[in-house]
Amino acid sequence: MTAEPLLLVGELNTPSVWPASAALAPGGDIAVAGVGLAELADRYGTPAYVLDEDEVRARARAWRQALPDAEIVYAAKAFLCRAVVDWMEQEGLGLDVCSAGELELAATRGFPPERIVLHGNAKSPQDLRTALRLGVGRVVIDSACETARLAARVQGPDAQQVMVRVLPGIEAGAHPKIRTGADGQKFGLSLADGSAEDTIARVLGQPRLELVGLHCHLGSQITETRPYAEAVRRLVAFLAALRDRYGVTLPELDLGGGFAVAYLPGDPAPTPAEYGRLITGTLANACAQHGLPVPRLTVEPGRSVIAPAGIALYRVLAVKRTAGRVFVAVDGGMSDNPRPALYGARYTVRRVGRTSDAPMRAATVVGRHCEAGDVLAESVELPEDVTPGDVLAVPAAGAYQVSMASGYNMTGRPPVVAVSRGRSRLLLRRENFEDLRARDVGL
């Protein structure tokens, strides 16, 4: 396929919303890793998700290069399947998991358990049993009551290494529902009210637990580097206070993830190198100020590794012009991408596989579900002659879409297709009615 580099209006000198391999192809198509998107829509059906394997790997390597002395742990909640587990292992990343299911999937691929971090604000007994059985490297304690519950399950002979998730009191993130570093929400333990120190004292009193460091997570889609620098300063000051009060020097510091990507052309999205320079410089300065050795740093990118590598494909089912607006309804929606309904997330959309001379007009791309809030993209520019049967591509779709997909209206979750070097392969097949029927065991 002959193709030329893809450059959309407004994307020059800004973070691209498309994978680096994306290129314009004949007939109005876009090729990703040498494979046409319209061709993929025909072959695998729609809705479908396309994942550029080489883009994922390149972004994983960019984080390792930005922080060569740190541990880079992929946040599996963004999207996980067997292939992604393999890619992360091969690229030298760890895994951050939040459930026994994610743990078991990693185990089926032989992922080294010592490179796995388990956390979550309410870990189930099954989560803890699975973590201890598989021998995960770190368990992040998120509440005081979890301390005794975890310690009681450790059989030994070695203590389980743990971190305590603390709230540094920092507001950061694209939406209130995904800001997790400030006081007054369900995650972590506050520095301000003493609950973090109280829990740390409890952990230090448990011989079956080995406290190795602090963990924090500020939020998601954080477009600035400054909040991370401020978190480092506050956490290092707390590490110094713990040393002075309890005589312990904790060797690790986990800053979580939340690193932003561009969803629209022009969106701010610092590079891993930009995050890395500020974090490491601030950490060295803060430790020198408090007379502490520099702890081993961990970061947990998820979205920034996988989101820009993914593209959602839909087929237009209906076009409605009413009340001065144009609604373009597609065969997916909030069942495969709940982010616009949950967080007001915004996307760009492009028609692929057909050219025309029609002018561009503002349209709202909506889903097929029985909700007025089932809107995938507001006020996007599409050709005026968009019609049922056209294929629409939504870039930056690799994170928190398939992983959050639901069975609403029994439409079935979409497939995920990997592309690399001119070839495609199915990673996750489409969920069909037989899958849904098999769960219905009642009479």
Catalytic center residues: 370
- 176: nearest Cα among 377, 342, 338, 406: 342
- 18: nearest Cα among 199, 237, 324, 267: 267
Helix (H) or strand (E) holding 436, with range, is helix 433-439
Two tokens, residue 148: 């005794």
Q: Can you tell me whether residue 28 is helix, strand or coil? A: helix
Two tokens, residue 308: 């820009």
Dist. CA 90–CA 374, nearest whole Å: 38
> Got the DSSP string for 176-205?
GGGB-SSSSSSSSEESSSSHHHHHHHHHHT
Q: What is the dihedral of CA 184, 189, 194, 197, to 10 degrees?
A: -170
CA angle, residues 208, 195, 141, in degrees to nearest 5:
40
Q: How far is CA 114 from CA 6, 74, 245, 334, in A?
A: 41, 14, 30, 36
Neighbours of 188 (CB within 10 A): 28
Two tokens, residue 419: 């592309």
The one-letter amino acid code at 270 reads: P
Q: Can you tell me whether residue 117 is helix, strand or coil? A: strand
Neighbours of 378 (CB within 10 A): 14
Contact between 410 and 436 under an 8 Å Cβ cutoff? The reply is yes
Two tokens, residue 252: 């690790």
- Tokens 């060295």 identify what position? 284
Residue 365: strand pairing partners: 328, 377
Dist. CA 168–CA 238, nearest whole Å: 9
> Got the DSSP string for 249-288?
---EEE----B---SSTT-----HHHHHHHHHHHHHHHHH
Two tokens, residue 244: 């002075």
